[in-house]
A and B are shown apart, each in its own frame.
Chain A
Amino acid sequence: MSLFKSVFNNEKKSAQSAKERLQLVLTHDRTDITPAQLEALKDELIEVISRHISIEPAAVNINVAREGREQRLVADIPLKVAQRRGK
């Protein structure tokens, strides 16, 4: 790839930055959930779930997702590979 093209591709248009920044700000404005609260929630969830099933704590992902004007809490919790029924 030519230098010109790679420079061109890396350059983010300011409207794109505005949109991405607004996406984050609006999610926060609408829900009032701070990143710290989300972290705390995640830690507790990991603790509770781990009591029942074994999961990969490091891979757990909790996020607030936007869907139109609705916000939803989305949790992605991968199970440990060796999980077998009856151990």
Chain B
Amino acid sequence: MSAKIITVTSGKGGVGKTTAIASLGIALASLGEKVVCVDGDIGLRNLDVIMGLENRIVYDIVDVVEGRCRLRQAMIRDKRVPGLFLIPAAQTRDKNALSPSDMIRLGDELRPEVDWVLIDSPAGIERGFKNSIAAADRVLVLTNPEISAVRDADRVIGILEAEEKGSPELIINRVNYEMVQNGEMLSTEDVLDLLAIKLIGVVPEDKSVLVAANQGMPVSLDNDSRAGQAFRNIAMRLTGKEVPFMDLAEKDGFWDKFSKLAGGN
């Protein structure tokens, strides 16, 4: 095995990176791939709670890098889906506990173990971000259709290009179809026109994301969730399958609720 290392980053905080990593991890593992999700947000550990694995942490990423445990000991197995692991962030250290070269070494150690390494980046464009992208083969920039998130995404894309990381791919998260229709939210086309990179996924705004987070069940485990479906689609695109972009007009509108009430689907 030689894993592909994928980093999700955004510049702005709170746009959905951790949600995406957890969901993509579950979705890829459900496709039969072996996956390790790495929380790169040192000091602000979160991926563990979103994945529902917070009670099983013994060692963290800094323990691995500083040699206090072996790699396998820090890989927490997710019992819901075979082949899925988490390496948690250290909570009581800061971003300077790791360097980009530590991350490259960790990446090289992980490559033979799994098919995919998914790295959750912290917000910002400083050390934690640099650490998170250091080992990446592919970077996914995640944004919301919102003015400051798009601006920050553009900065990050500029830095990735300057560092010759290759052109990143774009995930647009939290698209509210009705608001786009009413001219109250940037559309997918608007964001693509502004950022001008390749699109890999569009995820609708969806209440089930918060419900899933409450329960520590990544939203891609929820078969009825539209956001979950969107993340499952992105996972398939990562593996090279061509999956059409979801029709955001479907389901979440009035007619859907109406047809559900009427007993339809």
Per the 8 Å Cβ criterion, residues 163-196 of B in contact with A are 180, 182-187, 190, 193-196
Min CB distance A20 to B, Å, is: 10
Q: Is the interface of B mostly helix, strand, loop or mixed?
A: helix
Stretch at the interface among A22-30, A38-46, A50-58: A22-30
Query: Does B196 contact A69, Cβ atoms closer than 8 Å?
Result: yes
Q: How large is the interface on B (under 10, 10 to 19, 20 to 34, 35 or more residues)?
A: 20 to 34
Number of A residues with CB within 8 Å of any CB on chain B: 15
Q: Which residues of B contact A21 (CB under 8 A)?
A: 147
Cross-chain contact B183 with A13 (CB below 8 angstroms): yes
Q: Assuming the A-B contacts A25-B151, A26-B151, are A14 and B194 also in contact, with contact meaning beta carbons closer than 8 angstroms in the complex?
A: no
Inter-chain contact count A-B, CB under 8 Å?
44
Q: Which of B97-105, B120-128, B152-160 contacts A (4 or more CB under 8 A)?
A: B152-160
Is B154 within 8 A of A15, CB to CB? no
Interface flag for B197 (CB, 8 Å): yes
Query: Chain B nearest CB: distance from A7 CB in Å?
Result: 15
Contact among B150, B154, B185, B196 for A68, CB-based, below 8 A? B196
In the complex, are the beta carbons of A19 and B157 less than 8 A apart? no
- Residue with the highest number of chain A CB atoms closer than 10 Å, among B180, B183, B195: B183
Q: A22-B147, A29-B151 are in contact. Are A15 and B185 (CB under 8 A)?
A: yes
Picked from B190, B196, B197, the residue with its CB within 8 Å of the CB of A15 is B190
List chain B positions with a Cβ less than 8 A from chain A. 146-147, 150-151, 154-155, 157-158, 161, 180, 182-187, 190, 193-197
